[in-house]
Amino acid sequence: MKTITTTLYQYDEASDELKEKIIEKHRDINVDYPGWSDFILDYFKEELARAGIDNPEILYSGFYSQGDGLSFTSRRINLEKLMEYTHANEKYPGIFQALKDGRLDYSCYIERTSTYYVHERTATLIIDSVDNLYDDEKDEEAHFTLENILNKELDDLKDYLDQWREDTCSDFYYKLEKEFEYLCSDEAVIETIQASEYYFDDEGNIR
């Protein structure tokens, strides 16, 4: 029969060399489970709800590889609310007033355009099913001209809002990446290890 005695250490008891081993071996301790990002994604969803984007589906991949990024989709968007949130109401007052007056029938949503990547350019915002732009027009030619002008504005509005969507995705991804980096930092790893009161062997393994 042979008995082997192993000395175990808590982090604060370890030598400087062992502390480095512990930190590196457990660098992902705060992000090695699927739900680590839930709280910050919930914050993103709350922000999107304020912009009139209902039930967004947020997908991301990361970090530090080509094609990484974040994007979101939604089947229902309150265009009037989104225009106010993004200040597009100031840039396109004619469309905004038509929305407020109930003279603009529309469908606005964000759909995915790629299933391989999920970065900000793999989705697009769409505004369609537009009619009832004006009340009865006596002058058919004038009505046609006005309708064309407003439809051109709608195309411009779509581009404006889609750029906002891309910028928002990039901003969300940056914040998510910074949170990931913090959770993998020495400070955060040590805090988790100490709070959990783990014991380690000479190789830095949790015992």
Helix and strand tally (H, E) in the chain? 7, 6
| pLDDT, tens digit, 9 for 90 and up, residues 103-128 | 777 889 999 998 889 999 999 999 98
Dist CA 70 CA 48 (whole Å): 14
Find the length of the chain. Answer: 207
Identify the helix (H) or strand (E) that includes residue 200. none
- Closest-CA residue to 37 (of 180, 173, 172, 178): 180
Note whether residue 10 is domain-resident: no
Parent domain of 176: 35-183
Note whether residue 5 is domain-resident: no
List of residues 6+ apart from 196 with CB closer than 8 A: none
Note whether residue 190 is domain-resident: no
Residue 195 half-sphere exposure, CB side, CA atoms within 13 Å?
8
Dist CA 179 CA 181 (whole Å): 5
Q: How many domains does the chain have?
A: 1
pLDDT at 11: 93
pLDDT tens across the length of the chain (207 residues): 777 788 898 999 999 999 999 999 999 999 998 889 999 999 999 999 999 999 999 999 988 888 899 999 999 999 999 999 999 999 998 888 888 888 777 889 999 998 889 999 999 999 986 655 555 554 454 444 456 656 778 889 999 999 999 999 999 999 999 999 999 999 999 999 999 999 999 999 998
What does DSSP assign to residue 31? Answer: T
pTM above 0.75, yes or no: yes
The DSSP annotation for 79-140 comes to: HHHHHHHHTHHHH-HHHHHHHHTT--EEEEEEEES-SS--SGGGEEEEEEEEE--SS--S-H
Note whether residue 14 is domain-resident: no
Distances (CA, A) of 162 to 15, 16, 49, 104, 144: 54, 51, 17, 20, 27
Note whether residue 62 is domain-resident: yes
Note whether residue 138 is domain-resident: yes
Note whether residue 152 is domain-resident: yes
pLDDT at 129: 60
pLDDT at 80: 94
Q: Which residue has the tokens 């709800």?
A: 49
| pLDDT, tens digit, 9 for 90 and up, residues 168-191 | 999 999 999 999 999 999 999 999
% of the chain residues with pLDDT over 70: 89
Note whether residue 197 is domain-resident: no
| Contact criterion met (CB below 8 Å) for 95 and 153 | yes
| pLDDT, tens digit, 9 for 90 and up, residues 33-42 | 888 999 999 9
